[in-house]
Amino acid sequence: MLHISLNPHPDDKLTEQQYEILAREYLDKLGFGEQPYIIYKHMDIDRHHIHIVTVNVNEQGKRLNQDFLFRRSKKITTELEEKYNLHKAQREKISPDMPIRRIDPAGDLKRQVANTVKMVGMRYKFQTIGEYNAILSLYNVRCEPTDGKVNGREYHGLVYFATDDSGKTIATPFKASRLGKFASRTAIDGRFERSKEKIDVAPTKRRVADVFTVAADKSDFIAKLKEHNIDVVLRYTEEGRIYGVTFIDHSTMTVLNGSRLGKEFSANAINERFNNPANAPTYIPDVATPIVVPPIEPTRDNTHSDTAQEPKFDQPSSSQHQSTGGQNQHTVTQSVSDFSDYDLPIPGLDLFQQGQSFNLDEEEFRRRMQRKKKRGPRHRF
């Protein structure tokens, strides 16, 4: 089965007949014009788009050519853009000073998730999936490992989710391979290892310790940390007990589980301090006066402007999660050489995007078929 999603620019207001023309011509050029297919118009976001589902074997059971599918698809979509005077797909380069913004449900989710994952990986230091998810959660993105074994072979991957403000998934997840190499398990594991050598907890601990001793309550603790450019992600049990705490220091660009700062800042200590103040131990900091960093102005938008162009296609008239971040636009200026591992451009707002959503059963079947193809047919004597 082949699943294709065609996503015109929001300013290209197409009728259902025009969508059908594009879909038919696209399939013809791709070599699937004689195959049965279904076209479904999707309006879950402001960018109306269509999904095409077809089969990749002909009536004789022969598999159709899918070699260089992405390259061929890109050539076809470019031709269709020119033929029907549609907005052209664009590409953008991630720059060191580009702000990270929260996911906008009305925008191109794949593009936004890819941008967020890439920029977080470029700028922040973290050592575990939990810390990685803490920084991603500020921008309404979540990552989950996919580990398993197929025919005795282990595989390890990552899947990314776009979420709403409460952490609820709002769309089909994206496999890391659909976003780019920078999002892969290998890339993120490498980031863990490199971060271990670079992280210095002392600056963050100084500021957290200062706030911890004077905060009147949990809300005051959170607010004062934000004044020092630190977000804190708290995780709760259903009973309301804090079982996880992660500090995100946007000045040092580090993500630190509370226990990394010391047991006095662990989840249990934070819970006792603010949920059971009578039992909380007295803590006297042994660190210097903190450095005050001014807060960063809030932002919400996570979409990027596209080049304006009038289209000439005939148009008709059970655990809770609390994040204290996500409303800030965090920027950092570093040398371009710091990002040498991430210098490939992310695809822009493609007119057409192609690919299947993640499905564990399909993934295992695909791997099994690839191994059979490599081994070749078994001969019986």
pLDDT in tens, 47-93: 678 889 999 888 888 888 888 888 898 899 899 988 998 888 666 66
Indicate if 81 and 100 belong to the same structural domain.
no
Residue 275: count other Cβ atoms within 10 Å of its Cβ: 14
Partners of residue 298 on adjacent β-strands: 328
Q: Report whether 69 contacts 54 (CB < 8 A).
A: no
Q: Is the pLDDT of residue 355 over 50?
A: no
Q: Which residue has the higher pLDDT, 315 or 107?
A: 107
Encode pLDDT of 9-45 as tens digits. Answer: 777 888 889 989 999 999 999 999 889 999 988 775 5
Indicate if 177 and 219 belong to the same structural domain.
no
Indicate if 71 and 126 belong to the same structural domain.
no
Q: Given this model, what pLDDT does residue 227 score?
A: 96
Q: Given this model, what pLDDT does residue 334 score?
A: 39
Q: Reduced to 3 states, what is the DSSP secondary structure of residue 289?
A: coil
Indicate if 224 and 324 belong to the same structural domain.
yes
Under the banding of pLDDT at 50, 70 and 90, the label for residue 368 is low
Q: Is the pLDDT of residue 139 over 80?
A: yes
The helix (run of H) or strand (run of E) holding residue 117 is helix 109-123
Indicate if 210 and 329 belong to the same structural domain.
yes
In the chain, the number of structural domains is: 3
Q: Report whether 20 contacts 39 (CB < 8 A).
A: yes
Burial class (CB in 10 A: 0-12, 13-18, 19+), 164: exposed
Q: Report whether 156 contacts 147 (CB < 8 A).
A: yes
The helix (run of H) or strand (run of E) holding residue 141 is strand 141-150
Q: Is the pLDDT of residue 358 over 90?
A: no
Indicate if 187 and 228 belong to the same structural domain.
no
Q: Is residue 302 in a domain? A: no
Q: Is the pLDDT of residue 103 over 70?
A: yes
Which structure tokens are listed for 4?
């294709």
Encode pLDDT of 259-302 as tens digits. Answer: 999 999 999 999 999 988 765 555 545 544 443 444 444 444 44
Q: Which residue has the higher pLDDT, 222 or 296?
A: 222
Summary mean pLDDT of the chain: 78
Under the banding of pLDDT at 50, 70 and 90, the label for residue 375 is low
Which residue segment(s) compose the domain that 172 sits in? 92-198
Q: Given this model, what pLDDT does residue 336 score?
A: 36
Q: Is residue 373 in a domain? A: no
The model's pTM: 0.61
Percent of residues, the chain, with pLDDT higher than 90: 44
Indicate if 170 and 239 belong to the same structural domain.
no
Indicate if 323 and 227 belong to the same structural domain.
yes
Encode pLDDT of 142-164 as tens digits. Answer: 999 998 887 888 888 999 999 99
Which structure tokens are listed for 161?
């989710």
Name the residue among 207, 235, 211, 237 with its Cα closest to residue 222: 211
Indicate if 103 and 81 belong to the same structural domain.
no
Residue with tokens 């570093």: 334
Eight-state DSSP code of residue 169 = B
Domain end position, chosen among 198, 217, 252 = 198
Q: Is residue 304 in a domain? A: no
Percent of residues, the chain, with pLDDT higher than 70: 69
Q: Is residue 372 in a domain? A: no
Q: Report whether 299 contacts 264 (CB < 8 A).
A: no
Q: Is residue 380 in a domain? A: no
Indicate if 225 and 143 belong to the same structural domain.
no
Q: Given this model, what pLDDT does residue 282 score?
A: 53
